[in-house]
Amino acid sequence: MFMDRRLFAILLGTTIACMLGCQSSTDSTTSSQDSSPPKIVEWGERESLQKERAESARSEMFAKLTERLSQALTTVGPVGAITVCQQAAPEIAVDVSRDGVKIGRTSFHLRNQKNVAPTWAAGFVEWKIREPVFVSLEQERLGALFPIRLLDNCVMCHGKADEVGPEVLAAIQKSYPEDRATGFSVGDLRGYFWVEVE
């Protein structure tokens, strides 16, 4: 049977999500834990509106994070900015999560273990999918996953050994002893915004 590549990717992601879901349904702090696997979206008016809301939540969170990060870098420098990121990132996620929208960040190489992907997204994340993904979730919700790539101003905290200064590295390791989020280059896939829309 002929199956197009996109459909295949979604099915494979779904299968992996199911497998991972069995093992790691624990600590996703803000996402809903869907027990059914995600389904392919049947696009209608409702779904298109949900997609727009997901995209605007992603843009809002990106803009707020960027603003807080550049503010912190100019005022307290990279070491101080780590603490700002630690506090600000979850606060911004809560702030942007409103009116039936939930948002968070995740990765296949996590810095903060609390940023584990929601069950429905876990397979796509492990698979390092490079394009935005949209799926149907339980109760007519839409799940969206948006790739995040590494920019120039990220390497001081996520780059290779010679780009992350020793003080920055020490501060990261102090706050995140299990950090797996260094060694990236500009343009690399760093992680994802996940969004759930009612």
- The angle formed by the CA atoms of residues 79, 84 and 89, to the nearest 5 degrees, is 130
Give the residue with the Cβ less far from ligand HEC, 41 or 121: 121
Give the residue with the Cβ less far from ligand HEC, 41 or 124: 124
198 CB-side CA count, 13 A = 8
Near ligand HEC by CB under 6 A, which window of 7-15, 24-32, 38-46, 103-111?
A: 103-111
Interatomic CA distance for residues 117 and 31, integer angstroms:
8
Inter-residue contact 30 to 104 (CB < 8 Å): yes
Inter-residue contact 120 to 131 (CB < 8 Å): no
Give the residue with the Cβ less far from ligand HEC, 41 or 68: 68
Give the residue with the Cβ less far from ligand HEC, 60 or 138: 60
Asked if 81 is part of the footprint of ligand HEC (rule: CB under 6 A), the reply reads yes
Asked if 110 is part of the footprint of ligand HEC (rule: CB under 6 A), the reply reads yes
Among 153, 170, 173, 185, binds ligand HEC (CB under 6 A): 153
Inter-residue contact 31 to 195 (CB < 8 Å): no
**Token output for 61:** 């969170």
Asked if 78 is part of the footprint of ligand HEC (rule: CB under 6 A), the reply reads yes
| CA 102, chain centre distance (Å) | 12
Site residues (vs ligand HEC, CB under 6 A): 69, 78, 81-82, 85-86, 89-90, 105-107, 110-112, 115, 148, 150-151, 153-154, 156-158, 181, 190-191
